[in-house]
Amino acid sequence: MSNENNKQKKKREEMKLSRRDFIKASAAAAAVSMAGLPVKDIIADSVIQYTSAQCRFCGAGCTVMAGIKNGKMVAVKGDPDSRINFGRLCMKGYSLPHIMYGEDRLTKPMVRQADGTYKTVSWDAAKSSSSSAQIWPRTIPCFSGVS
C-alpha cells in the first residue's frame, strides 16, 4: 500500500501545473480554436518556423512570434524578449492568423453606392470618390485598432 501511495504521489508531482501555466494554456487553446486553426497540427508540428514581428492592431507595438509554415502564418505567440509585452498577447494579437487569412478580410477598396451596397473599385477610383476627394490630399489613411 505504501509503495502504491508513493507512486501516486510521484505521479501528482510530475503532473504539477501551476495556476498561471494552466490559465496560459487555456487561453492559448481558446485563441487557437477561436481563430479556426487546427490545434493538433499546431501542437504536433515541428516544422513551424517562428520569426519576430510587430502587431499592428494598436499603438502599443507588441512584439509577436509569428509561426510560419509553407509561407503562411499558422500560429502566433508573444515574444518573451519583448520589453513591451513581455511575452504576453491580448486577444487581438492571438487572432492575427485568422484576421490575415479570414474570408471576410477586405483586400481592395470599396465605395458605398447610392442604394447602400458596396462596389469594389481601384485605388484611384476610391481616392477620387466624392467623399474621399475632399479630404484625400490633406490626409494619410491608416488603420488603428485602438478601441
Report the C-alpha gap between 132 and 130 in whole angstroms.
6
Rounded Cα distance between 3 and 51, Å, is 48
Number of domains in the chain: 2
Side-chain half-sphere CA neighbours of 143 within 13 A = 5
Which residue's entry shows cell 495556476? 19
Q: Can you give the residue range of the structural domain that contains 87?
A: 9-36+47-104
Which residue, among 115, 127, 94, has the nearest Cα to 27 in the 3D structure? 94
Shared-domain flag, residues 123 and 70? no
Residue 51 sits in the same domain as residue 81: yes
Total residues belonging to the chain: 147
Give the global pTM. Answer: 0.47
Q: Is 84 domain-assigned?
A: yes
**Domain with 73 in it: what CATH number?**
3.30.200.210
How far apart CA 81 and CA 146 sit, in angstroms, is 24
Inside any domain, residue 118: yes
Are 92 and 111 in a shared domain? no
pLDDT of residue 48: 83
| Residue 3 resides in a domain | no
In a domain, 145, yes or no: no
Per-residue confidence (pLDDT) for residue 147, from 0 to 100: 43
21 with 93, same domain?
yes
In the numeric block, which cell numbers belong to residue 2?
Answer: 505504501
Q: Which pLDDT tens digits describe the chain residue by residue (147 residues)? A: 566 666 555 555 555 667 787 787 778 777 777 776 666 555 545 578 889 988 888 888 889 999 888 888 888 888 888 889 888 998 888 888 888 888 887 888 887 888 988 888 888 887 776 555 555 555 665 655 544
Q: Are residues 112 and 131 in the same domain?
A: yes
Q: 61 with 125, same domain?
A: no
